[in-house]
Homo-oligomer: A and B are copies of this chain.
Amino acid sequence: MTRMSEGLSGGPADLADVPPETRSSTGPLHASVNDPALTSMTLLNEIAGRFPDAVSFAAGRPYEGFYDVADLGRYMSAFENHLTDELGLSPEATRRTFFQYGRTKGFIHHLIARHLRNDEGLDVEPESVVVTTGVQEATVLVLRALRTDTRDVVFAAYPSYVGFLGATRLVDMPVRAVREGPDGIDVADLEEKIRRARAEGLRPRAVYVVPDFANPSGASMPLADRRALLDLAAREDVLLLEDNPYSMFHSGGERLPTLKSLDAERRVVYFGSFAKTAFAGARVGYVVADQSVVGGSLFADELAKLKSMLTLNTSTVAQAVIGGYLLENGCSVERASAREAEVYRGNLRAVLTGLEEWFGAGGPMSGAGVSWNAPKGGMFAVVTLPFRADDAMLEYSASHFGVLWTPLHHFYAGNGGFRQIRLSYSVLTHRQIALGIERLAALIADRT
């Protein structure tokens, strides 16, 4: 539900008023429309919709307190000036950039490369960047490219981001689940799973990881694990798909390098998002794909071919807005999103403090058997409960105690996480967080 169902209302149409005999049937549809991840998201949204007054730890959307519609026009003007003044485009070429079909790989690739140098210490060739309609499109492009026949398979730590799982469904790419520990993906388990897949005649292609502040777990990989993962990828000749939407929301202390910046062999395909930093509605993300392809071309150029059959190019106005956002902030997203990062840091502290006060040593419910992790950043934390926390329990929690959260089993494709819940704190006030944890404590007291 992280990226779902905000904005204008509108559920399924009521078909009751249309005589069924005048409405043709489509016939059977691709299995992905019945994907369990989708069905569960619909269910969660439906429950959330029925309890609008509950404190919601379920809504994963970014903080919206600093949004101002007036920024959008200013960003576009900043980008227009950049085209004319910095790049020297003629008025005709500038107009064409805004209005016509554009370069398939996008036209803010050079600004994205500057941002990666400024904020991640990462040097990428602008030509290896493909600007996409959000990371979601980028994920579909990469998976579409890698799924050549029934032998291809990818790996992901479970619990896993539902958007990634959805993308695999669209291209019929099987996902092999890898264990996740408190420090992210279990590299030894990954190695075993890759070998097992090979023994079955499958062709392991890639491993999906969110090394910093994963969704849903909030886990971050230690440096040694990052290096071990890169070594394993080299030994097994698989790509690493590094998704990095949350790194700007770090603790403020020392940061770990991205996999991509440790990637001497260019084995990492890097996904970057502006959804949580600039704004989600723009639908602007990107992928850095600097691998070579048999025949000598650049992976980014092959992905662009697929994009030319999928969306042609990322919306020019959306790119211009994000381009202006980058330019206004010296191509530092860290600078641009400093206020949001401060909100998330404060909210994370409030969540951890609240949990400690209720369930920690000396707290009123210290013996209840509740534990939780302590993410170093991001937008999510995970709480382990002493009872089954499934959709029925969520419904009970909402109706009897006025608090919403996300059952973790939805991120396991139904195969785990039945006693865990995700707490998302991005859009809450400290007061709402305290109230929500108090209500959670009441639920737990009721069930134990």
Contact residues of A with B, CB < 8 Å? Answer: 3-10, 12-13, 15, 20, 22-33, 35, 38, 41, 61-62, 64, 67-69, 72-73, 76, 80, 87, 92, 94-105, 107, 109, 125-128, 133-134, 136-137, 140, 144-148, 163, 166-167, 169-170, 203, 205, 237, 239, 264-267, 275, 279-284, 290-294, 296-302, 305-306, 308-318, 321
User: Are B292 and A25 in contact (CB-based, < 8 A)?
Assistant: yes
Of chain B, the residue at the smallest CB distance from A83 is B8
A302 CA / B144 CA spacing, docked (Å): 21
* Residues of chain B within 8 A of A311, CB atoms compared: 133-134, 136-137, 283, 311
Contact across chains for B64 and A145 when beta carbons are under 8 A apart: no
Contact A100 B144, CB 8 Å, known A22-B265, A292-B23, A308-B166: no
In the complex, the answer to whether B163 meets A6 with C-beta atoms within 8 Å is no
Taking the closest CB of chain B, its distance from the CB of A121, in whole angstroms, is 18
A203 → B minimal CB distance (Å): 8
Chain B residue at minimum C-beta to C-beta distance from A301: B12
How many copies make up the complex? 2
> Known interface pairs A128-B13, A147-B30. Does A134 touch B312 (Cβ–Cβ under 8 Å)?
yes
Other A-B pairs, 18, CB within 8 Å; known A20-B292, A69-B76: A8-B87, A8-B97, A10-B127, A12-B127, A24-B265, A24-B266, A27-B294, A29-B148, A30-B145, A35-B309, A98-B279, A99-B281, A136-B309, A137-B311, A166-B308, A166-B309, A281-B317, A283-B312
A100 vs B140: C-alpha distance when bound (angstroms): 22
Decide: A312 near B3, CB < 8 A? Known: A69-B95, A264-B22.
Answer: yes
A90 to chain B, nearest CB (A): 12
Distance in angstroms between the alpha carbons of A32 and B309 in the assembled complex: 9
Given contacts A24-B291, A291-B23, contact A99 B12 (CB under 8 A): no
CB-CB < 8 A to A315: which residues of B?
Answer: 133, 281-284, 315, 317-318
Are B33 and A306 interface neighbours, CB within 8 A? yes
Query: Quick one: which of B8, B15, B146 contacts A30, CB cutoff 8 A?
Result: B146
| Nearest CB in chain B to that of A37: its residue | B309
Residue from A35, A99, A169 with most neighbouring chain B CB atoms (10 Å): A99
Bound Cα distance from A414 to B282, whole angstroms: 39
Measured CB to CB, the closest approach of chain B to A320, in angstroms, equals 8
Given A133-B311, A140-B309, A305-B38, A26-B100 contact (CB < 8 Å):
no
Residues of B within 8 Å of A144, CB to CB, are 30, 32, 170
Task: Assess whether A100 is in contact with B308, with CB atoms less than 8 Å apart.
Answer: no
Q: Which residues of B contact A73 (CB under 8 A)?
A: 72-73, 76
Give the residues in chain B near A203, CB-CB below 8 Å: 27
- In the assembled complex, the CB of A293 is this many whole angstroms from the nearest CB of chain B, namely 5
Docked Cα-Cα span, A310 to B145, in Å, equals 15
Chain B residues contacting A127 (CB-CB under 8 Å) are: 10, 12-13
**Residue in contact with A94 in the complex, picked from B69, B99, B148, CB distance below 8 Å:** B69
What's the Cα separation between A297 and B12 when bound, in Å?
Answer: 7
| Smallest Cβ-Cβ distance to A94: which chain B residue | B69
**Across-interface contacts of A8 in B (CB, < 8 A):** 87, 97, 102-103, 107
